[in-house]
Amino acid sequence: MPAKHEVTSLAAYKKELLERSEAYRQALAVHSRELQQSISWVPKTVVLAKTAAPFMAFGLPLAGMLLFRRRKPAPFAPPGKQRPVKKGLLAMVLGGVELYNRFRPLINAFGQHRGSNGAVRQRSRAAADVTR
């Protein structure tokens, strides 16, 4: 009768393996949900970084110039003349706005060119089809 004992122990071993496998499968499902939740911020951050990159490319150098500029020593004024008046932060900001208004047409033209890039691709495809 040892053969029947081995068969029952193999059946019990198989049942134990199936139970362990199901427990591992459930644990894996829980861990995968936790992982998805913990990295769910990544796509939003990538979109935000892509959106903020042009603003940082233009704004950070300007902010650095305004905030971390080197102080020049005040020029010596002859006795009959007054020293030149230093520009304050507000005057510099207004100067930056004036510069922006001067370069706005160029910036808008650059933006329109990038926006019409799809139309350029369609025209180049049509030209390629004509040459074939």
Q: Could you tell me if 16 and 52 lie in one domain? A: yes
102 phi and psi angles, rounded to 5 deg? -70, -40
Q: Could you tell me if 6 and 55 lie in one domain? A: yes
Task: Give the count of domains, the chain.
Answer: 2
Give the residue numbers spanning the domain of 43: 1-64
- The answer to whether residue 77 sits within a structural domain is no
Q: What is the pLDDT along the chain (132 residues), one digit of tens a residue?
A: 455 666 678 889 999 999 999 999 999 999 999 999 999 989 999 888 888 888 877 787 777 777 777 666 656 666 666 666 667 888 888 888 898 888 888 878 777 766 555 554 555 555 555 555
**Cα 88 from Cα 44, distance rounded (Å):** 39
**Cα 63 from Cα 58, distance rounded (Å):** 9
Task: Give 79's DSSP letter.
Answer: T
